Structure 1
Amino acid sequence: MDARILIADDDEKSITGLSALLAGLGYATEVARTLDAAVATAAWFQPDAAIVAPALSGDDPAATARRLRAACGERAPLLISLTGWGESQHREAALAAGFDVHLVRPVGLDQLTFILSMIG
């Protein structure tokens, strides 16, 4: 697969596990542990998708989505919110903030591969 996935989270276990899983599936992955690192990585890596903890910038998921989209310019990645919060208001908030998809951890492999199939 030629698809590039950025994983941005401050949870070390999430980053490590997800990165290993996606690399095993053939995706090129890069990781970031802060929003600033995610933005810098997105600018040069130009990911096809970004799996992001939506509150990486504190309590403002919209700032997280906005900064990542701006870093990628016209090549907008599929922005995937990955969080432990799964009630309908959390999904609605993530989508309103600018994420394309909201997933709840632990995310299933079938669900994740289905979502990533949207990037081609």
Structure 2
Amino acid sequence: MHKSILIAGRDDDALAGLANLLDEMGYDLTLAHTAADALSIAERQWPDVAILDIGGPELDGLATARRLRDMAGERSLLLIALTGWGQPQYREMALAAGIDVHLIKPLAEDQLSFILSMACERAD
């Protein structure tokens, strides 16, 4: 069974690059450019993993993470922040918002692959 990943980000080039990488890894993907889109998509088709950019006016990833956590209830969801914000206070804010993993750009492919493989093993 393929695991589904919701990617929410505001940078079209970064979103496309990450989508291509994850598609090559064999994941089913859905892309969102705004928080409203991400939440709407999650209501229609619950993802196994959500990768969120945690900055920006159109996509407040921290608020989106909190809302997805509320929506999850008993459902499984791995929340990953992918951000340029690497300072400790941003990591703490992300974890407090329900983010499971705080990754800093630029992303190492092997790091993401490892995290996703561990999450998907637990979900099977």
Does the pair score TM above 0.5? yes
In structure 2, distance between residues paired with 1:47 and 1:11: 21
Q: For this pair of structures, how many residues does the alignment match?
A: 120
Aligned-residue offset at 1:13:
1.1
Unaligned stretches of 5+ residues in structure 1: none
Alpha carbon RMSD of aligned pairs, Å? 1.9
Residues 50-69 of structure 1 deviation map (CA, whole Å, 9 limit, x = unaligned): 00012356695542112122
- The structure-2 alpha-carbon separation of the partners of 1:85 and 1:72, relative to structure 1 and needing over 3 Å to count, comes to same
* 4+ residue segments displaced more than 2 Å: 55-62, 69-74
SS of residue paired to 1:39? helix
Structure 2 unmatched runs, 5+: none
Check if 1:4 corresponds to 2:4: yes
SS of aligned partner of 2:76: coil
- Worse-matched range after superposition: 54-63 or 37-46: 54-63
- Structure-1 residue corresponding to 2:117: 117
Superposed counterparts of 1:39-54, under 5 Å: 39-54=39-54
Percent same amino acid among aligned pairs? 50
CA distance 1:59–1:25, shift in 2 (3 Å): closer
2:81 corresponds to which residue? 81
